[in-house]
Structure 1
Amino acid sequence: MSDKDDKAETPKKKGKIGKIALLAVGAVALIGGGVGAGLYASGSGLIGGRKAAVAPGPHLVPKSEQKRPSKDGKEGGHGGGEGEAKAEDHGMPTPPGEGGDRFASNYYAMEKEFTANLQDSVHFLQIGIAVSTPYDDTVIQNLKTNDIAVRSAVLMTLGDTTEDQVFTSDGKQALAKKLAASINKVLKEKEGFGGISNVYFTNFVVQ
């Protein structure tokens, strides 16, 4: 074979090698792009088992996570761990769909009692109250943060109460509902969320 033929074949070989190199680079780029896209999708929750971000604000607490007092009287954690009251301590559990609240009740007793004159009366009312919420401690914290505004709303509600309401069971129940509505109104104005489900009387004196 002549030198001319060798020179003619050399550019062809170089051209093939260049094509192979370009194909290899392209394959690596595709693989890298696919891996990057997969990582992005996984990180953003599009694929895989990653949970979506939890929305801020109060969250309902399942009954299984209800805080229960321990044997020494202190507040225990959630569930039935060591030192906590277990479900079997309170009788047979209620079958699903046959009564009982679906969510836990988170209780909080307000520290100071309330005293107010009854409407158009010489008597005054002195009460202690506790509240319950099916939500987590966020609602209780909101209540504590806005304690002054909440107490003012409670006193105004008590001031609109008549004698007829405080001497009957139905009247007291109606008053408890009014107090819950008053507290929720304040929390909605201040925090954008109420969350108080019930008000309970821990003390109730008419003088």
Structure 2
Amino acid sequence: MAEEEEPKKKSGIVTIVIFVVAGFILVAIGLGVGFLVFGGSQGNPQDIANEIVTKQNEAKGDAAGEGEGEAELECDDEEKDEEGNCPGDPEKISKETPKDKVFQTLYYEIPGSLTTNLKGSRRFLQISVGLSTKYDETILTNVENHLPALKSVGLAALSDYTEEMVVGREARKLL
């Protein structure tokens, strides 16, 4: 009987070695496939960003009449980088609004509601936001275009409120 137990131990060791080797092979195959799929040479992030901005500017130029209202950057040849671009952001130009015209009051309700946790509490705050303007519809168009950023700023501001700050009628006026 002692002879029968010894071969089982050898086959157990062989089985363990086979599983370990198979595990290493699977890990190597996984790493190889991962490198082939996600590896390789990617372009310079600056070049990719410039490409995206160029495409967006071309699309805006076609739709808005070739960059109306945009400021051109002015810089010396010494300040330009290797690609000939001026460093920094373009200056923003504000458009004057006519003060003589009186527009009808326009209302816009932000779709959905803003929900955030109250600071230091398990409770949450959920509000709906509406806007009104006496300017023309371009204001509402700009609000719709920048809605994700506006929601983000609103949620950041609301997340600073505690439960005590939002209880009662005065809290509604504060919000």
Answer yes or no: same fold by TM over 0.5: no
TM class, shorter-length: 0.3 to 0.5
Indicate the structure (1 or 2) with the bigger Cα radius of gyration: 1
Identify the structure with the greater strand proportion.
1
Using CA pairs under 8 Å that are at least 6 residues apart, name the structure with larger relative contact order, 1 or 2.
1
